[in-house]
Chains A and B, each alone.
Chain A
């Protein structure tokens, strides 16, 4: 009986899903999450992406090709995310590219996108070794990975202490979300600790991390020069409040970018003042592209955010950043395979591999400074590795540094070693990039 039911429901699903494919449309599935504990991030990010796609369509699409999208609620849950991906991937003639904005869902899609030949982006999260496009042809951690971010943090701390040489003998505490996410940068930080001679102490924060007294007591006994905070969600404001209680100066705490949004600092109130965080994109509405979104999209009532005050917030601009990269990849693919045509996922992947968002191109797009220039290749699916640092002054994030990178050569080597090990374990033969255009 129960299986009859399944069959019936399945049939209903299929009937609902069969939509006709239009020729001049490029379909982008949106695996968003607007309910649950991470709703603030999901609604801001995907709201930003949809706002930019709307803007592209208002401006006539990509050489006349309109973007279409459909949302599916994942609740930040791997099973729901996989279901959404499977449901959406065949609609409107097939998905162009997918971005789950969730590590768990991204892992669930890893093999699926390779089998389905649909490129997946994991902008600013996910596996760092996926930056090696020879082993991971279908995964694009566009912009900057966690490893490059950790390297940039060390470079930034080097600047703060007046040169890398002064890092020797310094004490750095690494407070991390005790999960795969929090552990991701440890190999990089260990390598730098050995190279630069600083003392690294790792202190795990047990998720969700709403009591951190014992960890900050440990910090107080250790008296580190700097604390790197690699948290997520409620853990971040709690860390700042607890640091204030224990008298640890907040301007000596450097946060990962997922600990660097308004949602992370405002709940901590005054305790957050002076806190420094990494960022892979800028925020605010001062960029021409953001002005266009305010005027053309929200001005005509087509905006996606319900709370207009969130336009230009950090999650919103991150979504716009993602959408610009995808749109430009499709445009790049059209340059190669035929302007004004619908691109196949393979062609879009080619576009993602040949993305060249130079400063000049970013200026044309009105997004200069919104995110650093990105130039990808067959072997390099990351394309930037640049991070900037910002400080919360109680009302706003103030820029401390321009976009900067750490020791990229060293990170690249670690990425290649890690990818080679993965390939050996999975018996994958890496692509020969010299043979591909």
Chain B
């Protein structure tokens, strides 16, 4: 009833091909943005910003990046965290070595460096695919972290091999509180998510999907798979690079290459599998699932323990969280193998017909 589009007529091609053709969706999106940009900054606590929202948004961005490569273009990659590391270390070096460079330009520079590295490691994708490509990108993961540890120049010869992100200053304003850092991250993520959505709907997105579905057929209809694949690697790595830079600058502060370990690559891959391959929304949903759900579980177990006086030993509680989390992953994948985004889409379709499904 609420979600009925009766009476909404689209009279131009622009309106018909908009991101949100249904009015309720546009209103909902505006409401979400209003909450994120206006209401949350007014009411949320520093804890919520610096421990939950910032990592959630940053990893959403990384997941969108990986989704471009794996979900849209069909190239399985295990190197997302390594490209994040390239972005972070490159941004650090841009700020350190280029006097007077604005920090946003350094983020873009970090993203571009990651894109370059991504293209290099994307070259094998022209000849190999599937699991074999995954192994090739695994090499990127190991090689990049090895190089960042090995070559002192990247860390400005820090004796511990770590970098400490410089303060974020944009137009003379210091973004040093959790709230202001959140707003920076939110603005960047919003713009880039919109760009990803438009790329995916446009010419290049269609090329990616054609290559994903069958690259020979794509070639036959005039798509150059090499260009499409390398473009996907570049764009995906750019997204991961910017996410990595934000991870260092607005979240962890001081980072070692180890922070971008294979474990993080796997987590990002799980985000898009659980969230939904080939959707932008899936990046956000998957990131929420992987980042926020364990924290909610942990808080819930502790709260239950306190209110019901169960006195669960902490080691049991910790293991319990992991078991419930694992069970939930299996549950969602069994219920809908195409991810949370697909569940959302199906429920939307049902809502459009409700209460009189044919």
Using a CB–CB cutoff of 8 Å, the interface residues on chain A facing chain B are 1-7, 9-10, 12-14, 16-17, 32-35, 39, 43, 70-73, 75, 77-80, 82-83, 85-87, 90, 103-104, 107-108, 110-112, 115, 127-129, 178-181, 183-184, 186-187, 206, 306, 418, 422, 425-426
Neighbouring A residues of B128 by C-beta, 8 Å: none
Tell me if B327 is interfacial: C-beta within 8 Å of chain A: no
In the A-B complex, the 3 residue pairs with the closest CB atoms: A86-B51, A111-B253, A180-B161
Other-chain contact of A2, B142, B256, B284 (Cβ < 8 Å): B284
Neighbouring B residues of A183 by C-beta, 8 Å: 149, 159-161
B residues 267-315 with Cβ under 8 Å of A? 281, 284-285, 288, 291-292, 294-296, 298-299, 302-303, 313-315
Minimal Cβ-Cβ distance residue in A for B56 = A6
Task: Evaluate contact between A16 and B302: CB separation under 8 angstroms.
Answer: yes
Task: Evaluate contact between B48 and A10: CB separation under 8 angstroms.
Answer: yes
Task: Evaluate contact between B162 and A179: CB separation under 8 angstroms.
Answer: no
Task: Evaluate contact between B256 and A103: CB separation under 8 angstroms.
Answer: yes
Q: Report B151 CB to chain A, min CB distance, Å.
A: 12
- Complex: how many Å from CA A10 to CA B291? 13
Neighbouring A residues of B40 by C-beta, 8 Å: 3, 7
Minimal Cβ-Cβ distance residue in A for B321 = A73
A12-B296, A107-B253, A306-B315 in contact; A180/B156 too (CB < 8 A)?
Answer: no
Tell me if B55 is interfacial: C-beta within 8 Å of chain A: yes
Task: Evaluate contact between B318 and A34: CB separation under 8 angstroms.
Answer: yes
- Complex: how many Å from CA A206 to CA B258? 12
Q: Report B195 CB to chain A, min CB distance, Å.
A: 18
Tell me if B345 is interfacial: C-beta within 8 Å of chain A: no
Task: Evaluate contact between B318 and A7: CB separation under 8 angstroms.
Answer: no
Tell me if B47 is interfacial: C-beta within 8 Å of chain A: yes
Neighbouring B residues of A187 by C-beta, 8 Å: 159
Neighbouring B residues of A43 by C-beta, 8 Å: 315
Contact bitstring B21-59, A, C-beta under 8 A = 1, else 0: 000000010001001100110001111101111011000
Other-chain contact of B159, A1, A90, A184 (Cβ < 8 Å): A184
Q: Report B192 CB to chain A, min CB distance, Å.
A: 16
A32-B314, A184-B160 in contact; A6/B253 too (CB < 8 A)?
Answer: no
Other-chain contact of A6, B45, B47, B53, B263 (Cβ < 8 Å): B53
A34-B314, A34-B315, A179-B258 in contact; A83/B160 too (CB < 8 A)?
Answer: no
A4-B32, A32-B314 in contact; A180/B257 too (CB < 8 A)?
Answer: yes
In the complex, 21 of the A-B residue pairs with CB atoms within 8 angstroms, ordered by the A residue number, are A2-B288, A4-B35, A7-B44, A16-B299, A16-B303, A35-B315, A71-B314, A86-B50, A86-B51, A87-B295, A107-B253, A108-B254, A108-B259, A110-B253, A127-B160, A128-B159, A180-B161, A183-B149, A183-B160, A306-B315, A426-B164
Neighbouring A residues of B45 by C-beta, 8 Å: 10, 14
Task: Evaluate contact between B52 and A179: CB separation under 8 angstroms.
Answer: no
Neighbouring A residues of B288 by C-beta, 8 Å: 2, 5-6
Other-chain contact of B35, A7, A13, A35, A181 (Cβ < 8 Å): A7
Neighbouring B residues of A5 by C-beta, 8 Å: 288, 292
Neighbouring B residues of A104 by C-beta, 8 Å: 256, 258-259
A35-B318, A183-B160 in contact; A79/B291 too (CB < 8 A)?
Answer: yes
Tell me if B322 is interfacial: C-beta within 8 Å of chain A: yes
Neighbouring B residues of A33 by C-beta, 8 Å: 318
Neighbouring B residues of A426 by C-beta, 8 Å: 164
Task: Evaluate contact between A13 and B146: CB separation under 8 angstroms.
Answer: no
Q: Report B60 CB to chain A, min CB distance, Å.
A: 8
Not counting A16-B303, A82-B50, a sample of 15 additional A-B residue pairs whose C-beta atoms are within 8 angstroms of each other reads A3-B36, A7-B39, A9-B295, A13-B52, A35-B322, A73-B321, A78-B259, A80-B295, A83-B295, A87-B47, A87-B295, A90-B47, A129-B160, A179-B258, A183-B160
Neighbouring B residues of A71 by C-beta, 8 Å: 314
Other-chain contact of A13, B160, B296, B344 (Cβ < 8 Å): B296
Neighbouring A residues of B48 by C-beta, 8 Å: 10, 13-14
Minimal Cβ-Cβ distance residue in A for B36 = A3
Task: Evaluate contact between B285 and A73: CB separation under 8 angstroms.
Answer: no
- Complex: how many Å from CA A3 to CA B53? 9
Neighbouring A residues of B254 by C-beta, 8 Å: 107-108, 110-111
A6-B292, A10-B53 in contact; A110/B164 too (CB < 8 A)?
Answer: yes
Q: Report B64 CB to chain A, min CB distance, Å.
A: 13
Other-chain contact of B258, A3, A13, A39, A180 (Cβ < 8 Å): A180
Other-chain contact of A87, B36, B51, B313 (Cβ < 8 Å): B51
Minimal Cβ-Cβ distance residue in A for B323 = A35
Neighbouring A residues of B32 by C-beta, 8 Å: 1-4
A13-B296, A71-B314, A107-B255 in contact; A418/B159 too (CB < 8 A)?
Answer: yes
Tell me if B251 is interfacial: C-beta within 8 Å of chain A: yes
Q: Report A139 CB to chain B, min CB distance, Å.
A: 11
Q: Report B292 CB to chain A, min CB distance, Å.
A: 6
- Complex: how many Å from CA A426 to CA B254? 12
Task: Evaluate contact between B257 and A179: CB separation under 8 angstroms.
Answer: yes
Task: Evaluate contact between A73 and B317: CB separation under 8 angstroms.
Answer: yes
Neighbouring B residues of A17 by C-beta, 8 Å: 47, 299
Q: Report B317 CB to chain A, min CB distance, Å.
A: 7
Tell me if B319 is interfacial: C-beta within 8 Å of chain A: yes
Neighbouring A residues of B299 by C-beta, 8 Å: 12-13, 16-17, 87
Neighbouring A residues of B303 by C-beta, 8 Å: 16
Neighbouring B residues of A14 by C-beta, 8 Å: 45, 47-48
Q: Report A32 CB to chain B, min CB distance, Å.
A: 7
Neighbouring B residues of A75 by C-beta, 8 Å: 318
- Complex: how many Å from CA A34 to CA B313? 11
Other-chain contact of B149, A7, A112, A128, A178 (Cβ < 8 Å): A178
Other-chain contact of A180, B28, B160, B294, B321 (Cβ < 8 Å): B160
Minimal Cβ-Cβ distance residue in B for A147 = B159
Q: Report A259 CB to chain B, min CB distance, Å.
A: 18
Most chain A beta carbons < 10 A, residue from B55, B254, B281: B254
Tell me if B194 is interfacial: C-beta within 8 Å of chain A: no
Other-chain contact of A108, B252, B292, B313, B315 (Cβ < 8 Å): B252
Other-chain contact of A73, B142, B164, B318 (Cβ < 8 Å): B318
Neighbouring B residues of A2 by C-beta, 8 Å: 32, 281, 284-285, 288
Q: Report B114 CB to chain A, min CB distance, Å.
A: 20
Minimal Cβ-Cβ distance residue in B for A187 = B159
Task: Evaluate contact between B315 and A178: CB separation under 8 angstroms.
Answer: no
Task: Evaluate contact between B28 and A1: CB separation under 8 angstroms.
Answer: yes
- Complex: how many Å from CA A186 to CA B51? 34
Minimal Cβ-Cβ distance residue in A for B37 = A3
